[in-house]
Chains A and B, each alone.
Chain A
Amino acid sequence: MKTELMLGDEAVGQAAIDAGIAGAFSYPGTPATEIFEFIAHRTKGNGSVFTMWSANEKVAYEEALGMSYAGKRAVVSMKHVGLNVAADPFVNSALTGVNGALVVVVADDPGMHSSQNEQDTRYLGEFAKIPVLEPSNQQECYDLTREAFELSERMGLPVLVRIVTRLSHSRAVVRVAEAKPEPREAKPLPDKNNWTLIPANARRRFRRLLDMQPALHEYSRQSPINKLKLAGKRGIIAAGIAHNYVCEALGKDPGDSLLKIGTYPLPVNLVRDLVNHCEEIVVVEEGYPYIETRLNGLLGLPGKLVRGKLDGTLPATGELTPDLVAAAFGKSATGPREVVGDLPGRPPSLCKGCPHIDTFKAMLEATKNYSNAVLFSDIGCYTLGCLPPFEAVHSCVDMGASISMAHGASRAGVYPALCTIGDSTFTHSGMTGLIGAAKADADMTVFLLDNATVAMTGGQKTMAAGEELIELLKGLGVDEEHLQVIEPLAKYHEQNVEVINKALNHRGLSVIVARRPCIQIKRPKKTVSKEEKLAAAAPGGK
């Protein structure tokens, strides 16, 4: 059996390849990005797996669903908030069901290392009434993803695999199983009435989904993924990566009863066995208190002490650590120790020479005499314009929100209403907001920051940049007279301020495209020294 050192994300990707996928679909987002990147890299040139970044997660999901409909296996991966974008096809695909296996891998980000919230995807799995598998380590990332494909085809449902940042971005040795022989025949097309969710069909399909729930519970009851060990009167329920922290805190043979959970719906039989055996149950899970809430029910468990995130045994927010878990079991950690003195932080910041810096400078100068100017921003490197020295940003909510929010605010009398959105975020979800704002000729100024890449997640390919974007904007109804392109460079500062002033004075929709490539992907030739060229090829890179 082959073994390989892999990130959790990579193990998921390898499992999808070995399961015989015909396509992988995704939109970049930390910590899920490497799943797609690994698949694309590994299958490059072999022609059997289609890989292309999608415009957004909803599109990615639908592309994967279409592939499944056509009878082939597909994987779609995204970060947790990406599933919000894809929620519509996600929930409805549980009603249509799948044909070829469809596996949805979602990476949650507890602790919000690089996200705007720490929502727990297990709730969305339950909401859609589909099976959820939760690996606890890299090996299980591989094994459970392989299992997810088999389960998906057996049940005729999409299957969700939930991982978290620490698992995505940790590396361990993974044993890789035999790959599914290729090529896989496409399964025949399904009954078209099952996939056409007009009310008459949808009611029937929802009934089918409800009728399938006992089979889902039965799967969890019998799955060897869940493991119960009955011992002492203190019982521990540990799900996913939290299982590692429990083992770390309590050692190999703690004497407690332990239920390790990796499938949802929850294995009710095992939970009942544990509860009947124990007086006290400690629930350790990454994310929201999902299991704990279900265990308590509305009225609690009479005669049992349930501990976890609800009673403060573990913190209700943030990421679990071995220290926090050890403390929950009354074991004091060695530390944590004070750091030496007052250490300067290293917050993320715009790179030296970043085009956004010059755009913000020009924008701040142009708006300095407007005390009520509001800048709605979006998700990307330019969100960092909220930090000193700019402190220019008033909002960052979700992908594409800047344009729609500026429109709404302008209708409430905000003037000037400005927004900044990057080229990739624009094609992700900004275009739909702009088409309405253009139709209504909203009194606002849109800054489309075209750096020709998805910079924040590592420079993935973007859907449209340069002249393509201009054509796109015109097509969406933006008046050419109020569509300007500036090059954000210090030497053009004065004239850029002038362009912005003109846009602010126009009491309708103006769009300013600030066009200059991200310095991480394209650097002027003369500044690249011989040493840097060497360094770029060296292992010391990022």
Chain B
Amino acid sequence: MNPADRQQNRPGWRILIAGTGGQGVLTAARLLCECFAQLGHQVVSGQLHGMAQRGGAVQSSVIIDGGSSPVIPSGRADFVVGFEPVETARALPFVSRHTTVYMNTAPVVPYVLAQRAALKKEQAQYPDVQQLADGVRAVASRTFAFDATQRAARAGSVRALNMVMLGCLLGSGSLPCSAEDFWNIVAKRMPAALGEANTKAFRGGTDLAAELQVGGATP
């Protein structure tokens, strides 16, 4: 079922953004909220960071025209935007075969793995990224994996990773707002310091969406 057909059966768009502290997950969610709120959509967005604010796992939901619960039920995400491979895999409970998944393949190695390795307690290894992607793809065939961190670096700063991911999400054309309109609305909310890199990164993301043909056939 393609997104448009699915839309008729279940109103609203449910987006889950997953990553680690410092990757800009919460900012990405806030920009989506501000854009769709300004366009007159009903928006609710949840976030959980708790004690894990520094380098911990961060998940944020953005629900557009889908009621007032900030929590996405399992298997009900329309989009999972994974800023990091392990965190994308951790979001699998939200994924069904109808979900479109964008997955950054550049890992952020958890501190505990480095620590375990240092203590030589056990052989601590980051999981194989290809296997993680395959695992997610086994559930959602529309899973697109790419190195978004590299794209951000090419745009001028790895800190613009969230803009690459947003560019990809908006560039897919599956949300009720074009990438162009989105950028026009949120651009003025960007601090000047990273402005150029953010713009380039967002464009990089929309290009990526076109390359991956996310708007069209299955990958």
Q: Which residues of A contact B146 (CB under 8 A)?
A: none
B68-A172 in contact (CB<8A): yes
Interface contact A346-B73, CB-CB below 8 Å? no
B24 neighbours in A (Cβ, 8 Å): 538-541
Task: Please tell me which stretch of A63-71, A81-89, A318-326, A463-471 contacts chain B, meaning at least 4 of its Cβ atoms lie within 8 angstroms of it.
Answer: A318-326
Bound Cα distance A342, B57 (Å):
15
Task: Please encode chain B, from 26 to 62, with 1 for each CB lying within 8 Å of some chain A CB and 0 for all others.
Answer: 1101110110010000111111111111111100000
Q: Pick the residue among A113, A166, A248, A344 that contacts B110 (CB under 8 A).
A: A344
Measured between beta carbons, the chain A residues less than 8 angstroms from B43 are 5, 171-173
B113 at interface (Cβ–Cβ under 8 A)? Answer: yes
CB distance from A135 to the nearest CB of B (A): 11
Q: Within the assembled complex, what's the spacing in Å between the Cα atoms of A518 and B115? A: 21
Q: How far is the CA of A335 from the CA of B26 in the complex (A)?
A: 25
Please tell me if B219 contacts chain A, counting CB pairs below 8 Å.
no
Contact of A337 among B22, B42, B55, B75 (CB under 8 A): B75
Minimum distance in angstroms from B176 CB to a CB of chain A: 16
Q: Give the complex CA separation of A114 and B74 in angstroms.
A: 23
A323 to B76, alpha carbons, bound, how many Å? 10
> Is B194 located at the chain interface by the 8 A CB criterion?
yes
- B1-9, B158-166, B177-185, B205-213: which one contacts chain A? B158-166
B112 on interface, CB distance cutoff 8 Å: yes
Q: Kindly list chain A residues whose C-beta atoms are within 8 Å of the C-beta of B29.
A: 171
Q: For chain A, give the interface size range.
A: 35 or more
Chain A nearest CB: distance from B40 CB in Å? 9
Shortest Cβ distance from residue B93 to the other chain A in the assembled complex, whole angstroms: 4
The residues of A that contact B172 with a CB separation of less than 8 Å are none
**In the complex, chain B residues 67-85 whose Cβ is within 8 Å of any chain A Cβ:** 67-76
Contacts of B193 in A (CB 8 A): 534, 537-538
| Binding stretch for chain B, among A215-223, A347-355, A413-421, A490-498 | A347-355
Q: How large is the interface on B (under 10, 10 to 19, 20 to 34, 35 or more residues)?
A: 35 or more
Partner of A539, one of B20, B44, B69, B194: B194
- Would you call A347 and B68 a contact (CB within 8 A)? no
Residue of A nearest to B95 (CB): A337
Majority DSSP secondary structure for residues of A touching B: loop
B175 proximal to A (CB < 8 A): no
Evaluate contact between B37 and A173: CB separation under 8 angstroms.
yes
**A450, B158: Cα distance in complex, Å:** 34
* A247 sits at the interface (CB 8 A): yes
Is B92 located at the chain interface by the 8 A CB criterion? yes
Interface contact B115-A388, CB-CB below 8 Å: yes
Nearest chain B residue, comparing its CB with the CB of A539:
B27
A341 near B127 with CB under 8 A, answer yes
Q: Tell me the nearest residue of chain A to B47, going by C-beta.
A: A169
Say yes or no for A522: interface residue by CB 8 A criterion: no
* Distance (whole angstroms) from the CB of A321 to the closest CB of chain B: 6
B172 to chain A, nearest CB (A): 22
A535 adjacent to B135 (CB under 8 Å): no
Residues of B whose CB lies within 8 Å of any CB of A are: 20-24, 26-27, 29-31, 33-34, 37, 42-57, 67-76, 86, 89-90, 92-96, 110-113, 115, 119, 124, 126-127, 131-132, 135-136, 139, 157, 159-162, 189-191, 193-194, 198
Seed contacts A172-B70, A347-B56; 11 additional CB < 8 Å A-B pairs: A170-B70, A171-B44, A337-B74, A341-B132, A344-B113, A345-B57, A388-B119, A535-B159, A537-B191, A537-B194, A540-B22
A-B interface, 7 closest residue pairs, ranked by CB to CB distance from nearest = A334-B75, A335-B74, A340-B135, A540-B24, A170-B70, A113-B50, A244-B69
